[in-house]
Structure 1
């Protein structure tokens, strides 16, 4: 490694410009001598010191452009060390105060002490209770690990309990590197409750991945401690701190040393250390645990050399020489009768100024362009054009990703992207809560990345809690929307059930009412030329009263079903109603869209037919006309069922249509039946009814669909977590 080097050696070719500059200076000197002689001035030549100083200053500037460096230092790209994953138990039992100030805070303090002693280890942080989450992947940025450690609370996981297996699986699958087996350690800080049933699987996973295990047990193993409940005031009505209770009894949590020792015995490379309720030195404990273990990487395998810059020193010397040259020229000019003009700059100064301008423009051109783009995006953001501002910030990130952007600049861009996503989420919250939830989660990731890139970025850290609150609100909105949809589906199922029952009752009543005499019988009786008048049955009066009462009851049921249908239609219309513009709100002529418009119209006909059937059933000789109205109601109900249900309603078409008598009756339909059949023409299929209602043209982009799918996936994961939570009996 040379003690001196030019970092831009190709620019040394600029030294060739010294030849034409020297020739120009010599030519100017000779021309000045000729002018003096012609004007009768002194023939003594002024000192050549000024020209020499200028040439030497130009030489130094050209050398500075080539970036000379001295005192090189070699730096290693790779760092040697082990991979350490801290698995921190954040279940509610870790809030017990038998360890000062609590078990959880004592564990955090131990991790902070270990981070202070680490030099080249890669560190990750995983929190677990009933489920596990990765707060920080493997990194050398210990400041970011400390920052995420402060965020580790029982709310950092989906549901309570204590399952070390979830943290082990998360670490093995998503954190540890399969190519670095034997150089990875899992450090568990826990009170050990609820681990015994899964110790065998934990030991198998660690053994398969050649991972070491260091267990730190925290808490009192004999008396135990109560679990305080986190609340706004932290006290109950009687002034005492709230504590966790189960089945009416106060829960006492103890350090489960038996289960942790059993886990340590099952693992081939495991050590258990009982910290109890006193302070412990995790840094020293881990150093003793890993003292003879191999480390990953080799120091100096990939290196780079950094030279101390000399260019600034050369530029300073060159400026001093230029000033000395001007002073020397001023002093020497006093000895001649004819002074050379001073208004025109020398060729060397012009070249120096040109080179300086080119150099500075080259250095600052990119920064100027980046600043201009950022200012444009910021103006769009301040003017409320959030979508355009987000596109501008994304363009800056994609364009300058490979250039020498500082972590502070990247953090600033990511922070502004998060602000844009938050604004878009708030705009979409009411109409599209799932898309708003996806936006808010993206914003949260942007703020977290900004804090990781610049741990001192306070504004990004302050945005984390409000964004988390937004996410909780959007999740609540989505749950409420799903609950409304579920209620609507239950109402629709209940409506179908009521319609089917009404159809069955109406059909049963119609079958009880006597119909017209058979056509063949009437023909045979009519051969004599005179058809005898029909005679009333003996029970006609009582039957008519019973038929009317039953039909009136069915009519009341139909009216009730119609009212239920209108209520459901109103609920669907309000749920699907889009925000109207000012002109649409003021325009009262616009009709309200009804989703169940066609079924409601048919239900009105059902109720009307039932009402007419009540009047027809009053006299026995008008019973056939009443049966015709009942048939109208039955057919209309069947049409409604076909519209509202997706399956084939073949069951409702069975029964009476297979009888020969009913076939004959349909063949000699009366005038009322013909009117009824004509009124049914062109009705009955849902497609024709729905064609009257124009559907909106979809305007979803690919990005909208992907974001909607991402939001749905996250929502399903949260619902799955809640379902798993219901199976946890002891969630502390």
Structure 2
């Protein structure tokens, strides 16, 4: 009973061929019984005299054995399985924690169509490259918010990207330090010691608080990489209610990309800086760092079950039937 409960076919669609083989065998057997159709052309009284001398003993029919051979071959191809074995699960050892800037300045249009959209495109490229990599996502304005904790489900994170705009944040701001703190906490909770943080931003206003946190994370083996979103020429900051933001003198408020600040953050965090054009190089660098680390770690809490294909045990029977079909005069 235990064998029956665990029995199944790994490739059951092959079994659909069985009625075809059986029907073909029956048709060939009937055709053989009628002398290959000669009885329809030659008078039954003359047919015996036209046969070759064979001692008068009719030859056995091979078609039942042909049906058996076809059946054995089809069942073997269907992959009968009644045993399964377990093995330890392994996963990649790399983790990327992505930090997205959703401050109002990300609505600037100095890159087409705007900064936040280009940042989402960059996130999509990073997630597409995150094969066998655990990923988490944090967004920030004046405070930091966890979009997704560290997970293997990269596809789910990608479905959330279109909704990430400055408009979803409860209040405006541009503070990176809380986001770095939140990223460090997520990595600590996940038991991650060596990881890559990737910050996608056009700048931040709390340098005095952000740089010490970056240095602290770097000392813990966590590298901080930065992707600059925007241009040094800058652009007027759009307001969600319409129009552009103004400075204290009544002129247009321009938001320029402070490359020096972002490069200093990457240097302090032991990572790399890249603009949007250099993003493919940064992605390759992230993957290379993962390759030079331990490639996989055993997950002791999870084991993978896979079934053994028992079709190979039908091959000796199939060879035996094929040998019987080699009898002279049958085929």
Q: Give the direction of change, closer, same or farther, for the CA distance of 1:134–1:84 in structure 2 (3 Å limit).
A: same
| 2:94 aligned with 1:82 | yes
* Residue 220 (structure 1) aligned with residue 222 (structure 2): no
Q: How far apart in 2 are the matches of 1:168 and 1:112?
A: 21
- With a CA cutoff of 8 Å and minimum separation of 6, indicate the structure with the bigger relative contact order: 2
Residue deviations 1:405-464 (CA, integer Å, cap 9, x gap): xxxxxxxxxxxxxxxxxxxxxxxxxxxxxxxxxxxxxxxxxxxxxxxxxxxxxxxxxxxx
2:185 aligns to what SS in structure 1? helix
Separation in 1, partners of 2:88, 2:126: 23
Is structure 2 residue 167 aligned with structure 1 residue 155? yes
Alignment match, 1:283? 283
* Partner residue of 1:263 out of 256, 262, 265: 265
Query: Where does 1:541-620 land on structure 2 (aligned, <5 Å)?
Result: none
Q: CA deviation at 1:109?
A: 0.9
- Match for 2:158 among 126, 130, 146? 146
**Alignment CA distance shift 1:195-1:289 (3 Å):** farther
> For residues 76 and 118 of structure 1, do their structure 2 counterparts lie closer, same or farther at Cα, with a shift above 3 Å needed?
farther
Which structure has the bigger radius of gyration? 1
Maintained 8 Å contact 2:180/2:214? no
**Distance apart, 1:261 and its partner CA:** 1.7
Report the number of matched residues.
237
Instruction: Assess if the C-alpha contact under 8 Å between 2:142 and 2:174 holds in 1.
Output: yes
Contact 1:195 1:260 in 2 (8 A): no
Q: CA deviation at 1:11?
A: 6.3
Aligned to 1:584: none
Counterpart position of 1:335: none
Report the equivalent of 2:202.
191
The answer as to 2:124 corresponding to 1:112 is: yes
Given the alignment of the two structures, is residue 130 of structure 1 paired with residue 142 of structure 2, yes or no? yes
CA contact (8 A) 1:94 1:103 kept: yes
Counterpart position of 1:245: 246
Match for residue 256 of structure 2 among 254, 268, 278? 254
Cα distance in 1, alignment partners of residues 208 and 266 from structure 2: 14
Matches within 5 A, 1:486-565: none
TM-score for both structures, normalised by structure 1: 0.30
Classify the secondary structure of the residue corresponding to 1:115: helix
Q: CA deviation at 1:271?
A: 1.4
Which one has a larger percent strand, Structure 1 or Structure 2? 2
Distance 1:225 1:121 in 2: 36
TM-score by length of 2: 0.62
- Could you tell me whether the CA contact under 8 Å between 1:131 and 1:158 is conserved in 2? no
1:350 aligned residue = none
For residues 176 and 272 of structure 1, the distance between their equivalents in structure 2, rounded to whole angstroms, comes to 24
Deviation for aligned residue 1:111: 1.4
Distance 1:98 1:291, change over 3 A: farther
For 2:301 and 2:190, how far apart are their aligned partners in 1? 21
Supply the distance in 1 between the matched residues of 2:120 and 2:302 (Cα, whole angstroms). 35
CA distance, structure 1, for counterparts of residue 144 and residue 107 of structure 2: 18
Contact preservation (8 Å) 1:216, 1:274: yes
* Structure that is richer in helix per residue: 1
Whole-angstrom CA distance in 2 between matches of 1:200 and 1:280:
23
Output aligned runs, 1:317-336, within 5 Å: none
Contact 2:235-2:255 at 8 Å conserved across structures: yes
Alignment pair present for 1:304 and 2:300: no
The within-5 A match list for 1:380-459 is none
Which position in structure 2 is the counterpart of 1:640?
A: none
Q: Structure 2: how far apart are the matches of 1:296 and 1:167?
A: 28
Between the aligned partners of 1:147 and 1:154, the Cα distance in structure 2 is 17
Give 5+ residue unaligned stretches, structure 1. Answer: 1-5, 13-67, 235-241, 311-732
- Residues 125 and 149 of structure 1 are in contact (CA less than 8 Å); yes or no, is this contact kept in structure 2? no
Deviations for 1:63-101, whole angstroms, at most 9, x for unmatched residues? xxxxx6169686753412311110000111111111222
Aligned-partner Cα distance in 2 for 1:94–1:73: 52
1:180 deviation in Å? 2.4
Contact 1:75 1:300 in 2 (8 A): no
Q: Contact (CA 8 Å) 1:95, 1:228: kept in 2 or not? A: yes
Secondary structure of the 1:212 match is strand
SS in 2 for 1:286: helix
CA distance in 2: counterparts of 1:10 and 1:69, whole angstroms:
10
Cα distance 1:105–1:303, how it changes in 2: closer, same or farther (>3 A)? same
